Amino acid sequence: MSRPGSISVLCVDDNPHVTRALESKLRRSGKFDWRGSLSSADQLVETVARECPEIVLLDVDMPGMDPLAALERLSRECPNTRTVVFSGHIRRELVERAVESGAWGYVSKNDDEAELIRAIRSVAEGEFVLSVEARRVFGD
Amino acid sequence: MELGETAFVPSAGAIGQSGLRSSVAAEAADASFARLRRLYEAILSNTPDLAYVWDLNHRFIYVNEGLLKMWGRTREDALGKNCLELGYEPWHAAMHDREIEQVVATGKPVRGEVPFTGTFGRRIYDYVLVPVFGPGGQVEAVAGTTRDVTEYRETQDQHRRHVQQLEVLNRVGTALAGELNLEKLVQTVTDAGRELCGAEFGVFFYNAHGRVGGVRTLRAVSGAAPAPLAQVSLPEDAPLGLCRFPGDGVVRISDISAEPAGRGAVTIGGVPITKLAVRSLLAAPVISRSGELAGQLLYGHGEPGVFGRESEPVLRALAAQAAVAIDNAQLHAGVQAELKQRKEAEAALGRQFARAALLSSTLQELLAAKDPERLVHELFPRVASNVGADTFFNFLVEESGQSLRLHACGGVEADVVRGVEKLEFGQAICGTVALRRQTIHATDIQNSDDSTSAFVRSLGMRAYCCNPLLVGDKLLGTLSFGSRTRSRFEPDEVEFLTSISQYVAISMERLQTEARLQRIVEERTRDLERSHARLRLSERMAALGTLAAGLGHDMGNLLMPIRVQLESIEEAGVPQSVREEVAGIRSGVEYLRKLASGLRLLAIDPGASAKGEVIELRSWWPEVCTLLKSALPRGVMLKDDIGDVRIRMARAAFTQVLFNLVQNAGDALRDRGAGTVRIGASAAGEKVSVTVSDDGPGMPEEVRTRCMEPFFTTKTRMTSTGLGLALVYGLVQQAGGSIELFSQPGKGTTFVIVFENAVESEAVAPKPETRPFAVLDVRDARLRAILASDLKHSFTIAGKERMQGAALCVTDNATVAGAGCGVTVLLADASEAPPGTVAVGRGARVETIREAVRAASKRSVHWGESK
């Protein structure tokens, strides 16, 4: 269970530098409940079912199971957990597939970290978020 | 006068006057004499000859019984009288007087022949007068014997005539045997017949084969034939119909005027022969070996009884000879005609073969021809020699399709044709052929006053044949051949020229088509080479872009944690000196982040639409400027003057365009090691221009005109593909823009890219207040975001409070559906959908929903505009 007022987050990224940096960033803010990280999407649904994080930060370019396929299953089986895709790949078809698979947000790794923090908060509040770069692929 | 004892037995009277003898001797002598006298008397009285004796006074002193019978006199009546006294015609009597005197004078016999009409009628007599010598040797009387030679003479005459006729027939036969000319032949026959029959005139009606087949009757005339026979007209189609005789054989009429009605009913040319001034008539049919009537020989005479029975076989023989000769002549004529026909046919066949060979070789040459003008020039001498032409004109239809232009000509001086370099349809012979699309063969032009042929007449043409050059319904022009020596071309020559023209037309069409195809192929090949080169380059650039983007992505992946960790260090309350170091590191990281961002922009996004996206250049610039700067050599500055403009193009493609142009400018400045590259963007009305300029050495003319061609480069192949600017050109074109280059040696180079102003084009579209608006009442925020993104180009997006009057409403709330909207898309099951709404279904996939909304939006935009 997350602390009152904090948002519980699970991070899935094969790059340990990223997960370590995110963990450090989110813990230091004191407003997030770090529920750990996975280096692939293979155990995503099981882990979420066990940990019940409010937000999953999901990279889409990882070895192992297709992260978006895992996301689709996750949306179906754990509807209370919302996923924000956090990726360096910003392509329209990728964003569309992610949205279709149940993503609530799409944030570029190249965006400022503050953008990621805002996105996590907004999605947790029920908003759908596309970061600046992700919106651009729709001609925005 | 006394009669000699040895020579003559005197008559009783004469004896009675003789001298006296001794009685015994006299009696014995008398008895002997009487006996001798009886003996002589018996002989002389019974000889068929006439015997007589004149005294020297020309009086008959003895005549035998034969003579007395012929005279019809008695001895007593006759003796002692001379010829005249006995009723001889004076000339006859005078003739005998002369002969008697001659015998007396010469003592030699005289022989003669004379006609005399006695009791046996008119007979021919042969006579011999001999002297009777007295004892003294003097002539004391003249004795004569006469024999009737009438039969002999007639037989002799007949024989002579037969010989003569045979000679004539033989001569005619010889003449006919060598005569093959029908006219001469029949004339010979006609003349010979007249000679054989002793006719006054002869006419030969005969059949002749006409030049073009059929038979007609002709006539040969010998002597002075009566006018009806010589002049009666001979109908072409009534062979011998004008000469009708009864029976098939020889007809002989001794006296027409005495003929009974049946035989006198013979008509010639409708004229009864009784009306002709003819009494004797002899006619014979000429029957050929085949039994056909070949002609009719007709002879006549003004006197009756001229043609005897003996003339019938003669004429029959002549007719037979004539039949054979006519048969031979006609056979010969037939053979000659056939030979001639065969020779003509052979000659015609030879010409046909020659033409066919010429057509064949011409066709081969035409098929192999490469140049339409040479084609007709090379063709001309061959055609000319074949049909005797000495001039040709070849006109081609001009683009207007209403006039002809002279394409080639031969056999005329150059200054002559200046007036006819262009002909309107309908003008002169060639123009008329073009108008009617039919062959014109003008003949005997010099004797014609036809205005159409005035020009060729002025050239001295006598015959001129012009053909249209037609391929199907398409008229290419005309081809004509003229002759100054011939007044006309034969039909087979006209046909030949027509065939040649058809070949030329097909050949020209082929050459034109080939040239057209060649141009198309060359154009397509060039296009293909260009697009192939661009494709390769764009593949290469896509691969490079992917590599760059991957690099950018990985850099971003690494930079993100570095940034976070730098932040942690700063937040950890480190000393100022460390904080400054961290700030330095952060600055470097920031540079790398921008570079990574720019690198990622080089990746072509396969999902991006062909029309691209709207790029707001001021927000795009910071993302790429680092990357662009990195493309420049050290010492070269990059300056920007980016206005507030937006263009529509795929972002990666636009980035690649600018990257290439900047890189190109940097290369131009590389050797100097200093200079400035400027990027500018500004809007002017509906256009946006993006410029990339450098203050480098500029391009010479040759480089400037060719630098956007694929593979063109001024650099070494090791450092340049020669495709960079070609790619730029292709990408800008694909995006609907244009690119221009301004460069002069020593004055730098400027590329100006012009796009439609994306803002302007949207502004030209419905103004915000006039645009239809769409209500999005969807609880699912992410779906709402996607749909809003889809619709915002066509609609002003509004909330459900503006439901009334909205062109489109997309809602998941069935209770508000259809409330005053144009088209409503209800994200619910069909059972919940009120009438007039489009139900998509609750569990529908996002793409299905988007598709339905897109379809509805098209209808609603239409509805909104029309309303």
Comparing CB atoms, the residue among B556, B781, B782 nearest residue A109 is B556
Q: Do domains B156-337 and B767-866 have the same CATH topology?
A: no
Q: What is the pLDDT of residues B827-866, one digit of tens each?
A: 887 777 777 777 887 777 777 888 888 878 776 654 433 3
Phi and psi of B624, rounded to 5°?
-110, -15
* Subunit contact A136:B567, Cβ cutoff 8 A: no
Contacts B564 to A, Cβ<8 Å: 21-22, 24-25, 113
* pLDDT at residue B260, as a whole number: 63
Pairing between strand B271-272 and B121-133?
A: unpaired
pLDDT (tens digit per residue) in B511-533: 888 888 999 999 888 888 877 77
Of the two residues B112 and B619, the one the predictor is more confident about is B112
Q: Is the pLDDT of residue B443 over 50?
A: yes
Q: What are the residues whose beta carbons fall under 8 Å from the beta carbon of B320, sequence distance 6 or more?
A: none
* Least-confidence region, from B270-274, B392-396, B528-532, B784-788: B270-274
B767-866 CATH choice from 3.30.470.10, 3.40.50.720, 3.10.20.30, 2.30.30.30: 3.40.50.720
Given A99, A109, A136, which is nearest B560 (Cβ)?
A109
Fold of B604-761: Heat Shock Protein 90 (3.30.565)
- The pLDDT assigned to B720 comes to 52
| pLDDT tens readout for residues B124-134 | 999 999 999 99
**Chain B residues with beta carbon closer than 8 angstroms to that of A89:** 553
Is A137 touching B (CB cutoff 8 A)? yes
Q: The domain B12-148: what is its CATH number?
A: 3.30.450.20
d(CA B109, CA B59): 18
* Each residue's pLDDT tens digit, B75-88: 999 999 999 999 99
Please determine, for residue B606, whether its predicted confidence score (pLDDT) is greater than 60. no
The whole-number average pLDDT for the span B277-292 is: 84
Residues of chain B in contact with residue A28, where contact means CB-CB under 8 angstroms, are 568, 571
In which band, very low, low, confident or very high, does the pLDDT at B761 lie, cut at 50, 70 and 90?
very low
| Distance in angstroms (rounded) separating the CA atoms of residues B563 and B593 | 10
Q: Which residue has the higher pLDDT, A41 or B209?
A: A41
Reported as a single tens digit per residue, the pLDDT across B324-379 is 888 888 888 888 888 888 898 888 888 888 888 888 887 787 777 777 777 778 88
Q: What is the mean pLDDT of chain B?
A: 81
Q: Residue B712: what pLDDT?
A: 67
Task: For an interface test with B, give the residue of A15, A17, A82 to mutate (most B CBs within 10 A).
Answer: A17
Ranges of each domain in chain A? 7-136
Q: CA distances (Å), B412 to each of B340, B415, B417, in order?
A: 39, 8, 7
What SS3 string covers chain A?
CCCCCCEEEEEECCCHHHHHHHHHHHHHHCCEEEEEEECCCCCHHHHHHHHCCCEEEECCCCCCCCHHHHHHHHHHHCCCCEEEEEECCCCHHHHHHHHHCCEEEEEECCCCHHHHHHHHHHHHCCCCEECHHHHHCCCC
Q: Measured between beta carbons, which residues in chain A are less than 8 angstroms from residue B615? A: none
Class of domain A7-136: alpha beta
Looking at residue A2, what is its pLDDT? 52
The CATH fold assigned to B371-496 is: Beta-Lactamase (3.30.450)
Residue of A nearest to B649 (CA): A139
Note the pLDDT of residue B8: 43
How many angstroms separate the CA atoms of B40 and B34, rounded? 10
C-beta atoms of A90 and B600 within 8 A: yes
- Closest CA in chain B for residue A139: B613
* Domain boundaries of chain B, sorted by first residue: 12-148, 156-337, 371-496, 604-761, 767-866
Amino acid B832: pLDDT: 76
Q: Give the pLDDT band of residue B63 (cuts 50, 70, 90).
A: very high
Q: Does A128 touch chain B (CB under 8 A)?
A: yes
Q: Are B293 and B326 in contact (CB under 8 A)?
A: no
User: Mutual orientation of helices B372-387 and B491-571 as an angle, nearest 10°?
Assistant: 170
Flag whether the ipTM exceeds 0.90. no
The closest CB to that of A128, out of B558, B597, B781, belongs to B781
Q: Mark yes or no for CB contact B782/A104 under 8 Å.
A: yes
User: How does DSSP classify residue B94?
Assistant: H
What pLDDT does B538 receive? 66
What pLDDT shows up at residue B17?
A: 46
Check: CB of residue A34 under 8 Å from CB of residue A9.
Answer: yes
Residue B653 with chain A: CB contacts under 8 Å: none
CA separation for the pair B325, B181 (Å, rounded) = 10
Q: Chain B neighbours among A 74-113 (CB < 8 Å)? A: 88-94, 96, 99-100, 103-104, 108-110, 113
What superfamily in CATH does domain B156-337 come from?
GAF domain (3.30.450.40)
Residue B651 has pLDDT above 90, yes or no: no
pLDDT band at B608 (very low <50, low <70, confident <90, very high): low
